Structure 1
Amino acid sequence: MAHRDGDDASALQRRVWDRAAPDYDASMARLERIWFTGGREWLGARAVGRVLEVGVGTGTNVPHYPADAVVTGVDISPGMLAEARSRMAALGRPVTLLEGDAQRLPVDDAAFDTVVCALALCSIPQPAVAIREMHRVLVPGGRLLLLDHVASSAWPLRAAQRLVELVSVRVAGEHFTRRQLPLVEAAGFTIDEDERLKLGTIERIRATKRT
């Protein structure tokens, strides 16, 4: 039953993001400026080597990666991947784009130097499973980079986030009171950087896969 529930939740995510894909960048523009400020640049400055982006979406992070990075992107939404392909063509940057579930990544063990996941673990049905998959596909000593909105460190705002979740989880599978840090530590990573911003609602994590 749990597996079926997980499949149903993944199917919901595919539908949600397929619908959102054509207008996603425009709808996110204001949030990018005032809430996620500098987050994509932060990720790009820390990505090295063979980079896997989980939940690549429309490819917004790709322009921030080093020019010599070899980038692969995975997303559950064909609509998002279509937008990403258009962006890569406009950039003239070769990127491998794969349709797949973050909870069952369609790539080999120990195949990447860096795994990036930005604004996706908030809606992935089983984030602990996804983080274990990220651990699997990294080389020993590989780097995990996460950016997401999380439960606020201020209780009044955290209470408001819980109220929002009453609708957002049911309609879009999106959570506002998760926090990924304990899951990253439990999966076998060492935390190198952990930064919380905007009353603790935004968290940036850099971690290393222990050898």
Structure 2
Amino acid sequence: MLAEARRRAARLGRAVELVEGDAERLPFPDASFDTAVCALGLCSIPRPEAAIAEMHRVLAPGGTLLLLDHVASTAWPLRAAQRLVEQLTIRVAGEHFTRRQRPLVEAAGFAVVEAERRKAGTIERIAALKR
């Protein structure tokens, strides 16, 4: 993915710094970013609470956290199907479909300012501020 990102940046004439790291131990100083974005990543991170805590750490006070991820559906038949499929996806790819990120975001000290669920409640988008 980093190689593809480098190719795209070069094709667009953009100077970017790409850093490989561990979401549970980000290689950046405290309060070094205004915004942290994680799209469809927390569903495959072993300890999402650690990753969210790291995002909180690297955000400056008042910084914005933007998340988009798979979550347990609001419709019970679909939620049951997600749990069934998850029995395989967790073992094969570490992919979770029924986690809920919002309680973890709030527990980490963020103030949720916007939250929206789509696709029968299986996708959740959260915007939150570091207090």
In the aligned structure 1, how far is the partner of 2:130 from the partner of 2:16?
24
Q: Does structure 1 residue 152 correspond to structure 2 residue 68? A: no
User: Structure 2: which 5+ runs fail to align?
Assistant: none
Show structure 1 runs of 4+ deviating over 6 A: none
Matched positions, count: 131
User: Structure 1: which 5+ runs fail to align?
Assistant: 1-79
In the aligned structure 2, how far is the partner of 1:182 from the partner of 1:112?
23
User: What is the identity, as a one-letter code, of the residue corresponding to 2:33?
Assistant: F
Match of 1:123 among 44, 48, 64: 44
Deviation at 1:181, TM superposition (A): 0.2
Q: Does structure 1 residue 87 correspond to structure 2 residue 14? A: no
Aligned with 2:64: secondary structure? strand
In the aligned structure 1, how far is the partner of 2:40 from the partner of 2:124?
10
User: Identity over aligned residues, as a percent?
Assistant: 76
Q: Does structure 1 residue 188 correspond to structure 2 residue 109? A: yes
Alignment RMSD (CA, Å)? 0.7
Deviation at 1:85, TM superposition (A): 1.0
In the aligned structure 2, how far is the partner of 1:155 from the partner of 1:95?
44
Match runs of 1:52-71 below 5 Å = none
User: What is the identity, as a one-letter code, of the residue corresponding to 2:86?
Assistant: E
Match of 2:20 among 76, 85, 99: 99
Deviation at 1:88, TM superposition (A): 1.1
Relative contact order (C-alpha < 8 Å, sep 6+): which is higher? Answer: 2
Deviation at 1:208, TM superposition (A): 0.2
In the aligned structure 2, how far is the partner of 1:150 from the partner of 1:107?
28
Aligned with 2:126: secondary structure? strand
Deviation at 1:92, TM superposition (A): 1.5
Which is helix-richer, 1 or 2?
1
Deviation at 1:86, TM superposition (A): 1.1
1:179 matched residue in structure 2: 100
In the aligned structure 2, how far is the partner of 1:91 from the partner of 1:203?
31
Match of 2:33 among 98, 101, 112: 112
